Amino acid sequence: MEKALAFTGILSNKPEENPDFFNWNRIKLRYCDGASFSGDSQDEGSQLFYRGQRIWQVAMQEFLSIGMQQANQALLSGCSAGGLASILHCDEFRELLPSSTKAKCLSDAGMFLDAVDVSGGHSLRNVFEGVVMVQNLQKDLSSTCTNHMDPTSCFFPQNLISDIKTPMFLLNTAYDSWQIQESLAPPTADPGGIWKACKSDHLHCNSSQIQFFQEFRTQMVLAVNSFSTSDQNGLFINSCFAHCQTERQDTWFAQDSPQLNGKRVAESVGDWYFDRAKDVKAIDCPYPCDTTCHNLIFDFNQSALEISASSRFCFPLFRASLVLLVLTKLIPRFLV
């Protein structure tokens, strides 16, 4: 785990990089519990202790004690597993703050779908089922969901987002790179490596593989359909091969950042949070129509990041960015 992290994108303190939130108090809560701050159980035999929920609670109490209790505006945000944590804890976050505080939540790349993989199985469901079982999450999941669905299904955001009472903004790519790597075509579902070239660079995909991704996009669009009917919610689903767009400066707010309806991610989130526009919801047309994407390419043998002029970015194979972000803007006397 890195000892120091750059605050870029939504965490930047520079107005030219983060026009709406640059002067907020910004807190980044590191993640390591494996269940998006939801576990609270232990295995006496193996002496493993799962304490994500307690870590969340203690952290929130600490933030409240040092000034968040007096915040007049607050935004709970997270990327990947942190995006899932933002969904799981959104209403809880709202309840921690005074009713006078304007509190909203943002999930970036947290819409993990219960999708069929390339072998016809459910690779991510198998992973989530293990997490739910090992960490005994049944008791902590939304009862609104568990009253009519099994616990594993209630760890998937698609079965939770429509019941969240607090205003929520969903930011996701329709062809999420992490889900392509770990859910749709993981090695267990593709032992022969037929999908290896395609999942490392979408330009190496054949027509049937692209069609498989189009079906995943359709599932993503259907999953947010009910959520999008609420006036208080926001949506930005772009047809890119990427993962996490709020913390990367190039995708958050740069001259050539991805756009939908002429708006960059930062502008769309700002319009939604500050109520500058009504119905801040945009779903991109299917690939390959979007020319503003910053698509990711994965090099399995490379550790360095390379940026090409064509807005295609080269990364080593990665796991989810496991962080939870909390942004709070305190009343003036608490600003320093």
User: Is residue 6 in a domain?
Assistant: no
Walk across the sheet containing 306-307 and list its strands. 295-298, 312-315, 306-307
**111: helix, strand or coil:** coil
pLDDT at residue 303 is higher than 50: no
State yes or no: pLDDT of 169 exceeds 80.
Answer: yes
Is 207 domain-assigned? yes
Mean pLDDT for 46-71 is 93
Can you read off the two tokens belonging to residue 153? 């299904």
Q: Per the domain annotation, does 130 fall within a domain?
A: yes
Lowest mean pLDDT among 128-132, 292-296, 312-316: 312-316
DSSP string, 176-208: -HHHIIIIIS-TTT-TT-TTHHHHH-GGG--HH
Q: How far is CA 156 from CA 86, 175, 237, 251, 279, in A?
A: 13, 17, 18, 25, 25
CB 201 within 8 A of CB 181: no
Residue 76 has pLDDT above 90, yes or no: yes
Mean pLDDT of 88-103: 96
Indicate if 80 belongs to the active site. yes
The pLDDT, as a whole number, for residue 243 is 95
pLDDT band at 309 (very low <50, low <70, confident <90, very high): very low
Beta partners for 298? 315
Asked if the structure places residue 8 within a domain, the reply is: no
Cβ partners under 8 Å of residue 198, min gap 6:
185, 204, 205, 206, 209
In angstroms, what is the C-alpha Rg of the chain? 19
Q: Which domain holds residue 168?
A: 14-334
Residue 334 pLDDT > 70, yes or no?
A: no
pLDDT of residue 15: 97
User: Which of 49, 102, 55, 95 minimizes the C-alpha distance to 74?
Assistant: 102
Q: Using 50, 70 and 90 to split pLDDT, how confident is the model at 30? A: confident
Amino acid 238: pLDDT: 98
pLDDT of amino acid 302? 45
Number of Cβ within 10 Å of residue 65's Cβ equals 9
pLDDT at 318: 35
Helix (H, G, I), strand (E, B) or coil at 151: coil
Confidence of residue 160 (pLDDT cuts 50, 70, 90): very high
Report the distance separating Cα 203 and Cα 221, nearest Å.
23
pLDDT at 310 over 80: no
Catalytic residue among 176, 190, 284, 290: 176
* pLDDT at site 305: 34
Spatial distance between the Cα atoms of 105 and 234, rounded to a whole number of angstroms: 10
Instruction: Tell me the mean pLDDT in the region 321-325.
Output: 38
> Is the confidence at residue 268, as pLDDT, over 80?
yes
Nearest to 246 by CA among 113, 111, 109, 112: 109
CA distances for 175 relative to 240, 265, 312, 320, angstroms: 6, 17, 14, 15
Which is catalytic among the residues 38, 41, 77, 80? 80
Average pLDDT over residues 231-249: 97
Instruction: Tell me what percent of the residues of the chain surpass a pLDDT of 90.
Output: 81
Q: Can you point out the beta strands (E) in the chain?
A: 25-30, 41-43, 48-50, 71-79, 102-108, 168-173, 234-238, 259-260, 263-264, 281-283, 295-298, 306-307, 312-315, 323-330
Q: Per-residue pLDDT for 212 more than 50?
A: yes
- In the set 107, 153, 183, 243, the catalytic residue is 243
The partner residues of 74 in beta bridges, in order of sequence, read 103, 328
Q: What is the pLDDT of residue 323?
A: 38
243 catalytic residue (yes or no): yes
Establish if 126 belongs to a structural domain: yes
pLDDT for residue 264 is more than 50? yes
**What pLDDT score was predicted for residue 114?**
98
5 within domain boundaries: no
What lies within 8 Å, CB to CB, of 279 at 6+ separation is 231
* CA distances in angstroms from 269 to 139, 169, 246, listed in the order given: 33, 7, 10
For residue 317, pLDDT over 60 is answered with no
Structural domain count, the chain = 1
Interior angle at CA 28, CA 324 and CA 236, nearest 5 = 50
3-state secondary structure of 213: helix
Average pLDDT, the chain: 89
Confidence at 65, pLDDT banded by 50, 70, 90 = very high
Section 43-72 average pLDDT: 92
46 flagged as catalytic: no
User: Is the residue at 9 inside a domain?
Assistant: no
Give 299's pLDDT tier (boundaries 50, 70, 90).
confident
Does residue 178 belong to any structural domain of this protein? Answer: yes
